[in-house]
Amino acid sequence: MAKTRYVYGFDEPATGGRELLGGKGVGLAEMTQLGVPVPAGFTITTDACRAYMVARDLPDGLEDEVDAHVRRLEELTGKRFGSDDDPLLVSVRSGAAVSMPGMMDTILNLGLNDAAAEGLAARTGNARFAFDSYRRLIQMFGEVVEGIDGHRFESALGALKQQRDVQQDTDLSADDLRELVETFKAIYREEAGADFAADARAQLLRAVRAVFESWDTPRAQVYRRAHDIPEDLGTAVNVVQMVFGNKGERSGTGVAFTRDPSTGEAGLYGEFLSDAQGEDVVAGIRTPQPMEAMRTSLPKAFEQLISTMRRLEEHYRDMQDIEFTVEDEQLYLLQTRAAKRTAAAALKAAVSMVDEGLITREEAVNRIDPAQLDQLLHPMIDPNAGLTVAAKGLNASPGAASGGIVFDADSAVERAKAGPVVLVRWETTPDDIHGMIAAQGILTVHGGMTSHAAVVARGMGKPCVAGCDDLTIGADTATIGGTTLREGDVITIDGGTGRVFIGEVPLVAPQINEDFETILGWADAQRRLKVRANADNPEDAVRAREFGAQGIGLCRTEHMFFGEERLPVMQEMILADTEAGRRSALDRLLPFQQSDFEGIFEAMAGLPVTIRLLDPPLHEFLPAEADAVDEKMARRIRALHESNPMLGTRGCRLGLLYPEIYEMQIRAIARAARAVQERTGDAPLVEVMHPLVGFREELARLRDLTETVWAQEAPEIEHLVGTMIEVPRAALRADEIAEVADFFSFGTNDLTQTTLAFSRDDAEGKFLTAYLQEGVLERNPFEVIDIDGVGDLMRIAVERGRGAKPELKLGICGEHGGEPRSVAFCHELGLDYVSCSPFRVPLARLAAAQAALKEAGSGAYVAAGG
């Protein structure tokens, strides 16, 4: 068997693509092969990482390959690794197949030691630069390899600046930095119990191990779980010749986007720091300048950057996010990748790129993440509210959020259980990831648009205001524009404008723009699945239609029995001892139901409306026993008590036990249909749906009841009668049930509950959270369909149902109907439609189109770069 090869130079062809080389490695290799200015280097493959994970040691042969590639680097650069005179310095950077910003570790300036730092100083005539690089190496190596707390180094740097009475790192002299190196070495020795490794080769190999190890850190695991990244991908390691942005005024470093990552507008967006190394920008320690500053300070490199960016966008046919460094006016690109962008930017960029002829409409549809569309559908701050802005920062990630402030990630998780929180930090680090997930929004003092907080929040679709200078954080207080706040005090942030307000602020529903409509129009042309909405009242029906719903897939009629005028009558019905008593109350409920149905039918004119008859156990309409108004009510509450009400007298069982209830509902539906037909000239398309059916006989009887009442009220109006599939037995006996059904609608909330024997009311607050944390289950089955279990039952129901009745209409109305992966599964199953809440309709339209495109062979889009 041929020996596995673990290392590839950027200029060497490798066939494994991003899976093998990681996103960053592939990007560097492609850029090298395109002739873009990239420093020389090589990539250690993800195969090596996986082998390391198994053996907890570098695999055989890897060290030799690394040595050989270091020698090649020496030849290419004319410098020597470990030399005292003109040392070759390298960076070691992680890079997985899927981008995990800031989640894993990077070490810069490897190859320096006391002698090499002197050599570098002499060779460059810049001692300041040499010792600045050296102190950074000791800190990064200490943090990443030895796990030393970075604050130890930061405070030593802070103390030195204070002593010298200077503001900026760049104000420190060469001698100051020499002194700082000694301090850092002492910290290193104290914390690690050994001296900082002087040997360049040892530094490199230890750094490679540390990057492999960083794949498994808790923060990386949390990030992977939050973003559904498989555990066994592993990371590649890139060893790259160092280029220096911290060599003085003719050098610098920055991050740039080919289009605005917030809005998608064409143009140049980014940030630049002169005389600095890359991590200064990313960590948000110094607040950078806008790109325009570079146009004047480094005009030649600026022009070259612009033309290179244009080339990269044309090559990758997507918006790029680029890291670059200028060393003595020479431009180098360190990374390019598909830019993380807000939903608005994703839409704008996709539409513009179609207009520019860069991509097709199908590609544009495939490039939008359906879950991200949600961002556009979230509330924003009411522009007309007269508000006092307490502070202003950068508009790092759009959307508005209110919540009690918390100062650390653990408190965010804790307090978020009781209500919304906003995480307030100097800056965020990857260790804060769990707090960022728990918070509604993020506010930071430091950092730019490309800081950790900004990038991660944007990816999560959470509001973020960064670089907020008017905010200071004390031991357990925050002062915002002069007002001092404590943990739990409420603030509101507007990530779209960067504004911060004290207290809660009125929010408005979001505006859907033209790009949104354009992309969804293209999506509609691709999809086969229809998308309906779950709506119980005329207002929701109108909104659903605006969002593009093609009908109502679930109108839960029980919601119509609440409200001041209705609930007492409903209770009277439940408390009645006789059928006559129940009928008298039902007669008074009928007009309410009828008028609600009329409103919904009119809102949905021309589109089908599925009305589901009463489903919940009756006790849900009565108060707790202690709140009963009299003994009769208390007795009834006791009598209705069941140990497992969700498996009890509910759904069609109620309809069979108390047929007068369903009779009234069917009568109200039929009368409403007739009234609407008389008023508008068009009959609504009514589908009467019976819940929780498990036996053919249940539906057969209820169908008879439906037809009898319908014939009395609206014999001339066509309608369908069908059932939800919510219990495994119904799925298994779908052929028999189909004989008496015109349609099935999968109620996957209950079908999940009944198939998994997970209580939908309790599981998430109890064992399910632990199951997800411990990895017993990968996903919450109430969110994403359990394809292997529940999905299999659905498949059986489809096959058997359609086997018995080919024209059987099939849909889904459980929560899964608005979840992209579940929508894709429904497409695969060949359902006719999915139904979801109105706000998720656009997302379902897009997900359905992507499923159709995938089936047609235009696979999911894979972003470029790492």
Which residues here bind Mg ion, judged by CB under 5 A?
726, 747, 750
The site partner of 554 among Mg ion, ligand PEP, none (C-beta below 5 to 8 Å per kind) is ligand PEP
Interface with ligand PEP, residue 694, by CB under 6 A: no
Query: How many Å apart are CA 244 and CA 251, to the nearest integer?
Result: 7
Q: How far is the CB of 614 from ligand PEP (least distance, A)?
A: 11
> Is the distance from CB of 625 to CB of 637 less than 8 angstroms?
yes
Is 813 a known active-site residue?
yes
> In sequence order, which residues have a C-beta less than 8 Å from that of residue 636 and are 6 or more positions away?
574, 575, 622
Given the complex with Mg ion, which of 44 and 724 has the nearer CB atom?
724
By CB under 6 A, name the one of 750, 782, 839, 865 that touches ligand PEP: 750
The catalytic residue among 69, 378, 446, 452 is 452
Q: How far is the CB of 532 from ligand PEP (least distance, A)?
A: 12
By CB under 6 A, name the one of 284, 814, 818, 842 that touches ligand PEP: 814
Query: How many Å apart are CA 769 and CA 781, to the nearest integer?
Result: 11
Is 452 a known active-site residue?
yes
Q: How far is the CB of 730 from Mg ion (least distance, A)?
A: 12
Half-sphere exposure of 472 (CA within 13 A, CB side): 7
Q: CB under 6 A: which stretch of 159-167, 244-252, 743-751, 844-852 binds ligand PEP?
A: 743-751
- Picking from 610, 484, 603, the residue whose alpha carbon sits closest to that of residue 544 is 603
Q: What is the dihedral of CA 754, 757, 762, 765, to 10 degrees?
A: -120
Q: How far is the CB of 554 from ligand PEP (least distance, A)?
A: 6
Q: Scanning residues 547 to 566, which ones bind ligand PEP (CB under 6 A)?
A: 554, 556
The site partner of 330 among Mg ion, ligand PEP, none (C-beta below 5 to 8 Å per kind) is none
Q: What are phi and psi of 290, to 5 degrees?
A: -65, 160
In sign, the C-alpha dihedral spanning 169, 174, 175, 180 is: positive
In sign, the C-alpha dihedral spanning 284, 286, 287, 291 is: negative
Contact track, ligand PEP, 142-161, x by CB under 6 A: --------------------
The site partner of 460 among ligand PEP, Mg ion, none (C-beta below 5 to 8 Å per kind) is none
Q: How many residues bind ligand PEP (CB under 6 A)?
A: 10
Interface with ligand PEP, residue 260, by CB under 6 A: no
Given the complex with ligand PEP, which of 138 and 699 has the nearer CB atom?
699
Q: How far is the CB of 764 from ligand PEP (least distance, A)?
A: 14
Interface with ligand PEP, residue 596, by CB under 6 A: no
Q: CA 745, 746, 750: angle at the middle one, nearest 5? A: 130
In angstroms, how far is the first alpha carbon of the chain from the final one?
A: 31
The site partner of 813 among ligand PEP, Mg ion, none (C-beta below 5 to 8 Å per kind) is ligand PEP
Interface with ligand PEP, residue 209, by CB under 6 A: no
DSSP letter string over 719-777? EEEEEEE-SHHHHHTHHHHHTT-SEEEE-HHHHHHHHHT--TTTGGGTHHHHHHHHTSS
- Written as six digits, the tokens of 41 are 């280097």
- Picking from 396, 269, 360, 346, the residue whose alpha carbon sits closest to that of residue 515 is 346
Q: How far is the CB of 765 from ligand PEP (least distance, A)?
A: 17
Q: How far is the CB of 813 from ligand PEP (least distance, A)?
A: 5
The site partner of 748 among Mg ion, ligand PEP, none (C-beta below 5 to 8 Å per kind) is ligand PEP
Q: How far is the CB of 823 from ligand PEP (least distance, A)?
A: 15
By CB under 6 A, name the one of 51, 813, 829, 852 that touches ligand PEP: 813
Q: What are phi and psi of 557, to 5 degrees?
A: -70, -20
Given the complex with ligand PEP, which of 551 and 747 has the nearer CB atom?
747
**CA distances to 405, 499, 505 from 485, in Å:** 8, 17, 17
Interface with ligand PEP, residue 749, by CB under 6 A: yes
> In sequence order, which residues have a C-beta less than 8 Å from that of residue 129 and are 6 or more positions away?
120, 121, 244, 246, 247, 248
Q: What are phi and psi of 441, to 5 degrees?
A: -160, 165
Q: What is the dihedral of CA 593, 599, 603, 606, to 10 degrees?
A: 70
Given the complex with Mg ion, which of 265 and 642 has the nearer CB atom?
642
> In sequence order, which residues have a C-beta less than 8 Å from that of residue 260 and are 6 or more positions away?
267, 269, 345
Q: Scanning residues 415 to 444, which ones bind ligand PEP (CB under 6 A)?
A: none
Query: How many Å apart are CA 863 and CA 284, to the nearest integer?
Result: 25
Query: How many Å apart are CA 239 and CA 62, to the nearest integer?
Result: 14
The site partner of 217 among ligand PEP, Mg ion, none (C-beta below 5 to 8 Å per kind) is none
The site partner of 602 among Mg ion, ligand PEP, none (C-beta below 5 to 8 Å per kind) is none
The catalytic residue among 555, 652, 813, 836 is 813
Q: How far is the CB of 27 from ligand PEP (least distance, A)?
A: 44
For residue 845, the SS3 value is: helix
Interface with ligand PEP, residue 831, by CB under 6 A: no
Interface with ligand PEP, residue 791, by CB under 6 A: no
Given the complex with ligand PEP, which of 323 and 615 has the nearer CB atom?
615
By CB under 6 A, name the one of 726, 736, 742, 786 that touches ligand PEP: 726
Interface with ligand PEP, residue 271, by CB under 6 A: no
> In sequence order, which residues have a C-beta less than 8 Å from that of residue 455 and are 6 or more positions away?
101, 102, 340
Given the complex with ligand PEP, which of 192 and 656 has the nearer CB atom?
656
The site partner of 393 among Mg ion, ligand PEP, none (C-beta below 5 to 8 Å per kind) is none
**Beta strand pairing status for 483-486 and 477-480?**
antiparallel
Query: How many Å apart are CA 768 and CA 781, to the nearest integer?
Result: 9
Interface with ligand PEP, residue 479, by CB under 6 A: no
Kindly list the catalytic residues: 452, 813
Residues in contact with ligand PEP by CB under 6 A are 554, 556, 615, 726, 747-750, 813-814
